[in-house]
Structure 1
């Protein structure tokens, strides 16, 4: 009798652990990275952001020029208002401050002094006011096109710079009519304007981000700017006023002289008006002007850039 062969039963299968499911979106992120895709509207690094702005410099220049041209397109006098508006403002301030309040006493060449101060202050004031609506007033453009949003406040400040250059042409005529001679110091107006433009652009970026989140900032800003204007010496001489108020604390005098708007106004007066000599400038005035420009320009750029992904949403 043949003995039956018995095959041992196979060992039980080793349990296999279930694979850990991938995190949601991990596969899509890997796929996007493999094909060089990035998040739409993601904030670029600061160097890349600056490169993008430079690549769109022609758009910034064309946009600012178009805005300036359209500003008075409905007025019969058209672009003449670019010169008439600051001149009329200067005439009003002359009547109030020069005649009624007699701040012209002791200030040589008061009309060139006043007109220069009004024009330079208007440049800063208009840049900030335009900046408050740079994003909130152009939501259609922001949502329709992909571009670095800082192009908008920069273009509005460039528009105000062009406006100032029209006014400066009228200022030169006023200086010559009141006997202020042409001097080599007039060339100092160029670096002063560059520093002021940098300062204004930085502030415009700050208020542009604030205005994008809280549009009511545009309603509050005129009151803040009016207060700042009266502390900036646009219509009066700060040094002459300080000489009459010797009881003022020294910190108040230093604060008024270091006020950035006053610094840029005084620099322009020093450059253009022969009777406004260096003794009427605050100490280290060029260092102050450069410091304010760097602080506002760099700080405003970073502050605006950090919210790049939020503009036009919500």
Structure 2
């Protein structure tokens, strides 16, 4: 009788220990001085990078403005003619047919100022909506702070407004509005409006980067906003005339509307017959508050999604 001996198989040799850092890609990258491509910098660092590219922002805005009407025979004259033609249409519809000019002194300067200032906000927001989604090639090809794009589009619209302001000065003089020291108030008013426009543009740029359909909705939103901003009529006159039939909150809301505030400030600065009593109370405080709220809030909101632009 034979006896079979079952020898247990030898135990496998234990693998050599591997340093944990070899499995931790983040630690490995940090050990070799590597960082994530396109990682969002800190807020102060982002501001510094943006400031370092201020020349690019200015040059990009100027190039876009120059190319805007390069195919038109009249060229850059359309920068002035477009808002003037809009003002002429609004004058015929609202001033003549609907008689909104009644009770409004210097109605033509009043209307043209409103149209020019509103066009600045409208064009800035429309351009900001497509700032990322309409420039994906640039976003994906180059590494730069993405906030440079909505800021450059707002600067482009500011440059266009400055061309229009030269035409506005001629209109004011033609209708008997004399130059005055108050015209200098247009500078801080435009600075506050630019800050507001830039902040809202950055908010819309982030939304538009993920939801391009917002660009199709914005013209309807802006048209409604325009009709509530006193571009073609005096809010103060409407409240005085129809205030009894309106809810009590309508007047303060219309007067605190940021677009209406900046339009009123420009009218107060440029038109001699537009008096301080037509401005809402604490108007400069309201204008500054809207600028800071939109400017700082919009910048932080845009910065938080810095890593996502151009991906997906």
Q: TM exceeds 0.5? A: yes
Alignment of 1:222-233 (within 5 A): 222-233=219-230
Helix, strand or coil: the match of 2:243? coil
- 2:258 is equivalent to residue 276 of structure 1: no
Structure 2 counterpart SS, 1:245: helix
Using the alignment, how far apart are the partners of 1:168 and 1:53 within structure 2? 29
Please give the residue correspondences for 1:210-249 in structure 2 after superposition, counting only pairs within 5 Å.
210-247=207-244, 248-249=246-247
Distance (whole Å) between structure 2 residues aligned to residue 23 and residue 224 of structure 1: 54
- Confirm or deny: 8 A CA contact 2:177 2:272 kept in the other structure: yes
> How far 1:250 sits from its partner (Å)?
2.0
Deviations 1:60-109 (A, max 9, x none): 00000000000000000000000000000000000011000000000000
1:281/1:25 CA distance change after superposition, 3 Å: farther
TM-score normalised to the size of structure 1?
Answer: 0.92
**What does residue 311 of structure 1 align with?**
309
Matched, 1:146 2:120: no
Is this contact kept in 1: 2:243–2:251, CA < 8 A? no
SS, match of residue 250 in structure 1: coil
Distance 1:252 1:55, change over 3 A: same
For 2:299, the equivalent position in structure 1 comes to 301
- Whole-Å separation in 1 of the counterparts to 2:34 and 2:148: 24
Indicate the structure (1 or 2) with the bigger Cα radius of gyration.
Answer: 1
Unaligned runs of 5+ in 1: 1-15
Task: Name the counterpart of 1:40.
Answer: 37
Provide the residue aligned with 1:67 in structure 2.
64
CA distance in 1, matches of 2:280, 2:299: 28
RMSD (Å) for aligned C-alpha atoms? 1.6
Count residues in correspondence: 299
Report how far residue 170 of structure 1 moved.
Answer: 0.2
Measure how far apart 1:33 and its partner are: 2.1
The alignment partner of 1:243 has SS state of helix
What is residue 6 of structure 1 aligned with on the other side?
none
**Structure 2 residue 161 is matched with structure 1 residue 161:** no
1:275 is paired with a residue whose SS is coil
In 2 relative to 1, CA 31–91 (structure 1 residues): closer, same or farther, beyond 3 Å? same
Output the CA distance in 1 between the equivalents of 2:190 and 2:243.
33
Report if the CA contact (8 A) 2:58-2:155 is conserved.
Answer: yes
Alpha-carbon distance in 2 for matches of 1:295, 1:96: 35
Is the counterpart of residue 57 in structure 1 residue 49 in structure 2?
Answer: no
- The reply on whether 1:121 has 2:118 as its aligned counterpart is yes
Q: 1:233 offset after TM fit, Å?
A: 0.2
Once the 2 structures are TM-superposed, how far is the Cα of residue 45 of structure 1 from its aligned partner?
Answer: 0.5
Query: Residue 254 of structure 2 is aligned with which of 237, 240, 256?
Result: 256
| Aligned pairs for 1:13-32 within 5 A | 19=17, 22=20, 25-26=23-24, 28-32=25-29
Hey, what's the Cα distance between the residues in 1 that align with 2:130 and 2:15?
A: 59
Query: Aligned partners of 1:207, 1:195: CA distance in 2, in Å?
Result: 19
Q: Supply the distance in 1 between the matched residues of 2:84 and 2:256 (Cα, whole angstroms).
A: 27
- Within 2, Cα distance between the matches of 1:275 and 1:19? 86
Q: SS state of the match for residue 20, structure 2?
A: coil
User: Paired residue for 2:285?
Assistant: 287
- In the alignment, structure 2 segments of 5+ residues that lack a partner are 1-13
* TM-score, scaled to structure 2: 0.93
1:30 Cα offset (Å): 2.9
Shift of 1:249: 2.0
